[in-house]
Amino acid sequence: MSGDALLRFADEVGAAGRPEAVPQAAELHLVTFALDREHYGIPVQRVREVIRVGEITRVPQAPEHVRGVTNLRGRILPVVELRSRLGLLPAVLTPRSRIVVTEAQGRVLGLLVDAVLQVTRIPADTVQPAPDDVMTPQADWLAGVARRPDRLLILLELDAVLQPQR
């Protein structure tokens, strides 16, 4: 994301936090990002910021999907390997990789993604559940699928992603 786009993005995320920016009931306000070739979305209200990937320090015996921790302005931020959490191979870091800093029940966690795309609103009626055999029990993170004009957007159940799983 270029410098300008990042600033615009920051404005958008910031705007989402203000009371008057609450989206209407019929819309979902999402941050979208890419893992491999698929696009995913999470609610913008849960995103605190997006940061570049600095040094991620490994923590011995950390749970399976925690890649490590990083320094976020003096605060220790655990970084979740979102790819492995979703059943993909771990990320290879590129200049486009980012950490999406999210909030869940007062805890702050970072999600490692291949690239952050945009902040967008989609009509709620474009969301449908994934087909039955796609929704396996392990896929507790799958909240649904949104059909966009040009592609499919996979919606994540953020609390499930961030909870330690079975």
CA angle 36, 60, 34 (to 5 degrees): 15
| Contact pattern from residue 100 through residue 119 relative to another protein, giving x for each residue in contact according to CB under 8 A and a dash for the rest | -------x-x----------
CA nearest to 64, candidates 78, 76, 81: 81
Q: Residue 158's CB: how many other CB atoms inside 10 A?
A: 19
The contacts of residue 38 (CB under 8 Å, 6+ apart) are 152, 154
User: What's the closest the beta carbon of residue 133 comes to another protein, in angstroms?
Assistant: 31
CA angle 4, 116, 99 (to 5 degrees): 105
90 binds another protein per the rule CB under 8 A: no
Q: H or E stretch including 162?
A: helix 158-162
**How many Å apart are CA 119 and CA 104, to the nearest integer?**
19
User: What's the closest the beta carbon of residue 9 comes to another protein, in angstroms?
Assistant: 24
Quick check: helix, strand or coil at residue 5? helix
Among 3, 74, 131, 137, binds another protein (CB under 8 A): 74
28 binds another protein per the rule CB under 8 A: no
User: What's the closest the beta carbon of residue 4 comes to another protein, in angstroms?
Assistant: 27
User: What's the closest the beta carbon of residue 16 comes to another protein, in angstroms?
Assistant: 24
> Which of 57, 136 has the CB closer to another protein?
57
Among 70, 102, 117, 158, binds another protein (CB under 8 A): 70
57 binds another protein per the rule CB under 8 A: yes
Tokens of 45: 């209200």
82 binds another protein per the rule CB under 8 A: no
Q: Using CB under 8 A as the criterion, which residues of the chain lie in contact with another protein when the complex forms?
A: 54-55, 57-63, 66, 68-71, 74-76, 78, 80, 107, 109, 162, 164
